[in-house]
Amino acid sequence: MRVWTSEHIFDHPWETVTKAAWRKYPNPMNPAVIGTDVIEREVKDGILHSHRLVSSKWYFPSWARKIIGSANVCYASEWSQVDPANRLMTLKTRNLTFGRFISWDEQMSYNPHPTDPDKTLLRQEAVISVQGVPLTSYIEEMLTSRVSANASKGRLAIEWVISKLDAEVKEIKHEVKEFTSHARKSTDDFIKTAKLSLDNLSAKTEGQHQ
């Protein structure tokens, strides 16, 4: 059995990080994740409970494939809770595929940083256990290093999503500014044209009266 743990601090408030967590996939850092589906979801006592099916394409070295077999797509079940009143988001993921030999449990929690409320602390833990096949230690080692590598990519992915969301907001603000300035210019032009027409009309009317 292998236990892997990690802590990471995001320089963003909890609300920003949790919004990004729901928009994490697809991203260029984790191309292995090919599908996420919500199986169940409800708000109970102010807490959002979700159950998702995560589909991934995992490529294992051929020596490992000879032992555990291969799968076109690997499935995992993810249960999560979001408690906005207490600013806590937790996720628990367990593999469905290869379940006969591999038990792979991951937990993640997003909390505000204990001393800086504008930062977010991410704690991750994975417990991997392989049995019933040869070379269990080697397989566990291989899977643990995958978890670690994916965790790093996952954190970069969250940052990537946050930047994208920031860029979207900036783009919208820019478009609104452009539209407002264009609308103002159009209105100014209209007023000028209307004034000219009125002046002309006035001049013509005066001419007629003379």
Partner 1 sequence: MNSVSEECNELKNSYDKCFNEWFSLKFLKGEKSDKMCAELFEKYQQCVKNAMKNQNISIEDVEQFQLGSEQEKKAPPKK
Q: Does 127 bind partner 1 (CB under 8 A)?
A: no
Q: Does 138 bind partner 1 (CB under 8 A)?
A: no
Q: Does 73 bind partner 1 (CB under 8 A)?
A: yes
Q: Does 43 bind partner 1 (CB under 8 A)?
A: yes
Q: Which is nearer to partner 1, 23 or 155 (CB)?
A: 23
**What single-letter amino acid sits at 172?**
I
Q: Does 77 bind partner 1 (CB under 8 A)?
A: yes
Residue 165 structure tokens: 């969301």
Residues 107 and 123: their CA atoms lie apart, in Å, by: 8
Q: Does 38 bind partner 1 (CB under 8 A)?
A: yes
Site string for partner 1, 98-117 (x = CB under 8 A): xxxx-x--------------
Closest separation in Å from C-beta 174 to partner 1: 20
Window of 90-98, 170-178, 184-192, 201-209 that interacts with partner 1 by CB under 8 A = 90-98
113 touches 9 (CB < 8 A): yes
Q: Does 134 bind partner 1 (CB under 8 A)?
A: no
Closest separation in Å from C-beta 103 to partner 1: 5
Instruction: Give residues with Cβ within 8 angstroms of 5, minimum separation 6.
Output: 123, 124, 125, 126
Closest separation in Å from C-beta 167 to partner 1: 16
Window of 46-54, 110-118, 152-160, 175-183 that interacts with partner 1 by CB under 8 A = 46-54
Q: Which is nearer to partner 1, 28 or 207 (CB)?
A: 28
Three-state secondary structure of the chain = CEEEEEEEEECCCHHHHHHHHHCCCCCCCCCCEEEEEEEEEEEECCEEEEEEEEEECCCCCHHHHHHHCCCCCEEEEEEEEEECCCCEEEEEEEECCCCCCEEEEEEEEEEECCCCCCCEEEEEEEEEEECCCCCHHHHHHHHHHHHHHHHHHHHHHHHHHHHHHHHHHHHHHHHHHHHHHHHHHHHHHHHHHHHHHHHHHHHHHHHHHC
The site for partner 1, by CB under 8 A, has a size of 44
Residues 171 and 151: their CA atoms lie apart, in Å, by: 30
Q: Which is nearer to partner 1, 73 or 149 (CB)?
A: 73
Using CB under 8 A, list all residues that contact partner 1: 15, 18-19, 22-23, 25-26, 34-43, 46, 48, 51, 53, 55, 69-75, 77, 82, 84, 94-101, 103, 129, 131-132
